[in-house]
Chain A
Amino acid sequence: MLLRHTSTEVKEREGLTINPAKTCQPIGAMYAALGIHGCLPHSHGSQGCCSYHRSTLTRHYKEPVMAATSSFTEGASVFGGQANLLAAIETIFAVYDPDIIAVHSTCLSETIGDDLQQITRKANDDGKIPEGKHVIFASTPSFIGSHVTGYANMVAGMADQFTVSTGEKKNQINIIAGWMEPSDMREIKRISQELGVKIVLFPDTSDVLDAPMTGKHEFYPKGGTTVEELKSTGDSLSSLALGCISAEPAAIALEKKCKVPFETLDIPIGLSATDRFIMALSKAGSVTVPDTITADRGRLVDVMADMEQYLYGKKVALFGDPDQLIPLTEFLLDLNMKPVHIVSGTPGQRFEKRMHQILETRAPGTNFKNGIGADMFLLHQWMKNEPVDLLIGNTYGKYMARDEDVPFIRFGFPILDRIGHSYFPSVGYSGGLRLLEKILTAILDRQDRDALEEKFELVM
């Protein structure tokens, strides 16, 4: 019982987080930046930040993750990190030769007051940025928001600092990816192609963090949204932002800068959210939905019908990031399951509002909390007070699942102990089918394990 200390009595805590359901901004910025082709993320802070982020991403993807650091020292934190960053920019272009450097700040550089905009401008003025190369940045202080905020800030930075509107519209739609896996991004591109809509997806970590083995260590793998594509987003007909927290800020930035109208959708996880995505995309691209997509949808609904008897009323606890939890909760309700506890460490009222919308008529008694105090300790306490049939969340859920002997599905970030998330999508109808398969397998395996011999069934 690793979590033997978890008490059932839920008390208000004064600013103390136990077993967090979030991490800090910079890792989100680093992940987003890896979705630009030929980009080297750069961490403007101490060496440890960069090392931790690379290690965590490496553990999650089992892929090499490249990023540079300003390697702050005592001197830098007294005199400011400008000299470090300028030297770093020069070094990186000279040695690692990326197309773009995407700089994000850290709690340290934010606290000492380094201004990334001013420093990158100076780098440009001093001729440290070679012709045709770029430096973009995002301010990502670790003491505000969470890793999701950092992702959103870096993606907004891409939109804000790259795009140019030439005045000539292009027949294409921007899809701004909220925090999702490379497999999900690949699936979004496939669906768009199936629909016949030309899109620019950004960021795009497919073929970066799910790269095949080639016998070489590709410092810049072949995937990622290119600079040209990013620039062209200013001329697109419209943008679809997938995720009100992780993607919408970029859509707003694009609208502001290049007057590209946008619509914000949930990440298309599960049936309803995918329906809305397909409708929105077909409308934006002025296409009709092809039969192949309709058939995909039909297959998902078919399985939902086939197996409904095993899903009804099953209680679920889930934790993770808001843009995933919103559509996932809706999907669980569509499956006739019962989400009872929901926790996200990421603060923000958008999440609260959306959850209210989804839950108020269909599951009004659900416990949910986000932001300060919403950690896995709280979730575990809730689970002790009202036990569940299934737990869904990132790898850290395994402690609770073991202690409470609850079936557990790994979903979210980070997943450090299983594979699959980078290769099999959770978005779209086929992603929904995969999630449903996982849910059913978890529930039925448990039923088999616990069944009395006479009740142990062959056909289920």
Chain B
Amino acid sequence: MPGGSLIAKQHFIFKGVEAMEHIGILEGRQKQIFEKKSGVEQVDISCDTSSLSGSVSQRACVFCGSRVVLYPVADALHLVHGPIGCAAYTWDIRGAVSSGPELHRLSFSTDLQEMDVIYGGEKKLYHSLIELIEQYKPKAAFIYSTCIVGLIGDDIEAVCRKVAKETGIPVLPVHSEGFKGTKKDGYKAACLALMKLIGTGSIENISKQSINILGEFNLAGEAWLIKAYYEKMGIEVVATLTGDGRIDAVRRAHGATLNVVQCSGSMTWLAKEMEEKYGIPYIRVSYFGIEDMSKSLYDVAKHFPDHPEIMEAAKEVVSEEVKKLYPQLQKFKKALTGKKAAIYVGGAFKTFSLIKALRSIGMSVVLAGSQTGNKDDYARLKEMCDEGTVIVDDSNPVELSKFILEKEADLLIGGVKERPIAFKLGIGFCDHNHERKIPLAGFIGMYNFALEVYQSVMSPVWQFAPRKGGSL
């Protein structure tokens, strides 16, 4: 339900935290912003809430969450059941690379019309599915419900069951009606669909030293890098969920010994379910930055104490990679030392890694925020951040611009909607969301990240631009 809506234009006091003046922060949003200061009462940041009605939020919906998680499954049919927009806007927007089939890069929609809204869209859905499965011969089909499907009462489950029976492939409904929560709920809906697949394949011949990689979407080929590290350690990767994903691999995922979860927001739920149902433990990792990347290899190795050779191999991978990488980073570090960064990304877990990665190239973080962080995430952020760092949940462009100017950031790390804001303010930008063009994960990813930050922050273009609020 809509929250409060009065403005506090000046000098509002934020529970003992010093006033942040001249703002224009929505009153209902005060609890979603925090500035780390010494000697003041530490308050909990408020998160996991829906956005205020009327805010220019950078967030998306349930459908978006489901779509981004399942999208990389390349040999599945992804049919969006609804009016055309939801399919049009998610057509090949995510650079989730496939090494084989590319069915996921096409756009399929039931393109619901007024009559369908009145009389229901089940028939159309049924026929669309039959036509598509006949033509494209996918290994499975995901059917995404959009907002109005939830309202007009189509029995998607029944249609899916019927089509599955007739075609012999799994046809999985994804309950991703946009209004039924936040993007996080969409992740969960996607995981529910995946859970139905997991456990349906044969787990014969899977090694005891095996893992699933969860929450890695193979943007710019990142999953391939990560997989290669683990394989060098002698670990078998059973399934990658969902980067370069294949239905058959998903079906065998319950045969792995350990789940390794990146992107905690989207996949922790699935890991927990698998732990409960199949007794597979999970660990949380991050592949960004030297520190976290190395840790993600060591943590997996630690899980196999009976095989000390795995840890040995992990150490070797790390030492080899770091030896190569470290000298390369020094040039960037020299140029970037003392520069300040603002981070506003989807998940909070990524923010932790980015802070460390930025520190390793001499940069400090003055603003850290996420769209979907939870309480624990923000508590940890507070611990990690330097004094004076502003922490925000579900921010908007006004706030972001304000803090970037006030804190004199030189770089913004964000996604598509944040990029032009950074450039208008005359500061560098690094896309750490869907539109990254080069791998930023892994050791080589750290080099790419440093290079990208360096290129953007040190670009000569800023010399020609009125910088930071209009002064040259």
Asked if A19 CB lies within 8 Å of chain B CBs, one says yes
State whether B111 touches A219 (Cβ < 8 A).
no
Give Cα A46 to B109, complex, Å.
19
Instruction: Tell which of A7, A22, A88 touches B88, judged by Cβ atoms closer than 8 Å.
Output: A22
State whether A215 touches B102 (Cβ < 8 A).
no
Asked if A55 CB lies within 8 Å of chain B CBs, one says yes
Least CB distance, B10 to chain A, in whole angstroms: 13
State whether B116 touches A143 (Cβ < 8 A).
yes
Q: Which of A207-232 contact B (CB under 8 A)?
A: 211, 213-219
Contact partners of B182 in chain A: CB under 8 A:
47
Interface centre among A19, A61, A85, A89, by most chain B C-beta atoms within 10 angstroms, is A19
State whether B178 touches A108 (Cβ < 8 A).
yes
Q: Which of A134-185 contact B (CB under 8 A)?
A: 141-144, 146
Instruction: Tell which of A91, A142, A214 touches B26, judged by Cβ atoms closer than 8 Å.
Output: A91
State whether A23 touches B88 (Cβ < 8 A).
yes
Q: Which residue of B lies closest to A50 (CB)?
A: B57
Give Cα A143 to B115, complex, Å.
9
Contact partners of A345 in chain B: CB under 8 A:
84
State whether B419 touches A58 (Cβ < 8 A).
yes
Contact partners of B467 in chain A: CB under 8 A:
215
Least CB distance, B136 to chain A, in whole angstroms: 6
Asked if B421 CB lies within 8 Å of chain A CBs, one says yes
With contacts A14-B124, A47-B59, A94-B7 known, is A372 near B111, CB below 8 A?
A: yes
Instruction: Tell which of A84, A90, A215 touches B425, judged by Cβ atoms closer than 8 Å.
Output: A215
Least CB distance, A11 to chain B, in whole angstroms: 8
State whether B88 touches A108 (Cβ < 8 A).
no
State whether B178 touches A15 (Cβ < 8 A).
no
Give Cα A12 to B465, complex, Å.
55
Instruction: Tell which of B6, B57, B91, B425 touches A396, judged by Cβ atoms closer than 8 Å.
Output: B91
With contacts A17-B108, A24-B85, A91-B5 known, is A71 near B53, CB below 8 A?
A: yes
Stretch of A73-81, A256-264, A284-292 with 4 or more beta carbons under 8 angstroms from chain B: A73-81
Least CB distance, B101 to chain A, in whole angstroms: 10
Stretch of A62-70, A384-392, A429-437, A438-446 with 4 or more beta carbons under 8 angstroms from chain B: A62-70
Stretch of B32-40, B126-134, B331-339, B373-381 with 4 or more beta carbons under 8 angstroms from chain A: B126-134
Q: Which of B77-109 contact A (CB under 8 A)?
A: 82-91, 93, 102-103, 105-109
Least CB distance, B122 to chain A, in whole angstroms: 11
Give Cα A213 to B464, complex, Å.
10
Q: Which of B406-434 contact A (CB under 8 A)?
A: 416-417, 419-421, 423-426
Contact partners of B218 in chain A: CB under 8 A:
none
Instruction: Tell which of A17, A64, A106, A217 touches B147, judged by Cβ atoms closer than 8 Å.
Output: A106
State whether B88 touches A64 (Cβ < 8 A).
no
Give Cα A23 to B109, complex, Å.
11
With contacts A20-B109, A71-B55, A214-B470 known, is A64 near B151, CB below 8 A?
A: no
With contacts A52-B64, A69-B51, A70-B54 known, is A141 near B180, CB below 8 A?
A: no
Q: Which residue of A lies closest to B80 (CB)?
A: A17
Contact partners of B86 in chain A: CB under 8 A:
24, 48, 52
Contact partners of A241 in chain B: CB under 8 A:
none
Count how many chain B residues have C-beta atoms less than 8 Å from C-beta atoms of the other chain: 86
State whether B421 touches A16 (Cβ < 8 A).
no
Q: Which of B37-58 contact A (CB under 8 A)?
A: 50-58
Least CB distance, B417 to chain A, in whole angstroms: 6
Least CB distance, B427 to chain A, in whole angstroms: 10
Contact partners of B181 in chain A: CB under 8 A:
73-74
Q: Which residue of A lies closest to B89 (CB)?
A: A52
Least CB distance, A1 to chain B, in whole angstroms: 9
Chain A-chain B contacts (Cβ-Cβ < 8 Å), number: 280
Asked if B471 CB lies within 8 Å of chain A CBs, one says yes
Instruction: Tell which of B6, B107, B148, B470 touches A19, judged by Cβ atoms closer than 8 Å.
Output: B107
Least CB distance, A396 to chain B, in whole angstroms: 7
With contacts A47-B57, A76-B179, A77-B179 known, is A215 near B127, CB below 8 A?
A: no
Contact partners of B7 in chain A: CB under 8 A:
94-95
Least CB distance, A336 to chain B, in whole angstroms: 35
Asked if A56 CB lies within 8 Å of chain B CBs, one says yes
Instruction: Tell which of B52, B85, B127, B150 touches A49, judged by Cβ atoms closer than 8 Å.
Output: B85
Asked if A13 CB lies within 8 Å of chain B CBs, one says yes
Give Cα A65 to B418, complex, Å.
10
Q: Which of B334-370 contact A (CB under 8 A)?
A: none
Give Cα A17 to B3, complex, Å.
39
State whether B417 touches A16 (Cβ < 8 A).
no
Contact partners of B127 in chain A: CB under 8 A:
14-16
With contacts A7-B135, A215-B470, A216-B469 known, is A71 near B52, CB below 8 A?
A: yes
Instruction: Tell which of A14, A52, A108 touches B128, judged by Cβ atoms closer than 8 Å.
Output: A14
Asked if A279 CB lies within 8 Å of chain B CBs, one says no
Q: Which of A98-148 contact B (CB under 8 A)?
A: 106-108, 111-112, 141-144, 146
Contact partners of B88 in chain A: CB under 8 A:
20, 22-24
Least CB distance, A398 to chain B, in whole angstroms: 10
Asked if A322 CB lies within 8 Å of chain B CBs, one says no
Q: Which residue of B lies closest to A56 (CB)?
A: B89
Contact partners of B26 in chain A: CB under 8 A:
91, 95
Least CB distance, A328 to chain B, in whole angstroms: 21
State whether A47 touches B54 (Cβ < 8 A).
no
Contact partners of B55 in chain A: CB under 8 A:
68-69, 71, 91, 95
Asked if B388 CB lies within 8 Å of chain A CBs, one says no
Instruction: Tell which of A19, A47, A216 touches B178, judged by Cβ atoms closer than 8 Å.
Output: A47
State whether A52 touches B111 (Cβ < 8 A).
no
Instruction: Tell which of B6, B85, B147, B470 touches A52, judged by Cβ atoms closer than 8 Å.
Output: B85
Q: Which residue of B lies closest to A108 (CB)?
A: B147
Interface centre among B63, B106, B421, by most chain A C-beta atoms within 10 angstroms, is B106
Contact partners of B83 in chain A: CB under 8 A:
24, 107, 141-143
Least CB distance, B406 to chain A, in whole angstroms: 13
Asked if A59 CB lies within 8 Å of chain B CBs, one says yes
The 6 closest A-B pairs by CB, nearest first: A48-B61, A24-B85, A87-B2, A88-B54, A91-B54, A215-B466
Name 27 interchain pairs, CB-CB below 8 A, sorted by A.
A2-B102, A5-B136, A16-B131, A40-B56, A46-B62, A46-B63, A48-B86, A49-B61, A49-B85, A63-B420, A64-B420, A64-B421, A73-B181, A76-B179, A77-B179, A88-B53, A91-B52, A96-B398, A108-B148, A108-B178, A141-B83, A143-B112, A143-B113, A213-B424, A213-B426, A215-B469, A217-B397
Extra A-B contacts (14), CB below 8 Å, given A51-B61, A86-B2, A217-B421? A3-B106, A16-B108, A19-B107, A52-B90, A61-B420, A64-B421, A76-B179, A84-B1, A96-B24, A107-B112, A142-B82, A143-B112, A215-B470, A345-B84
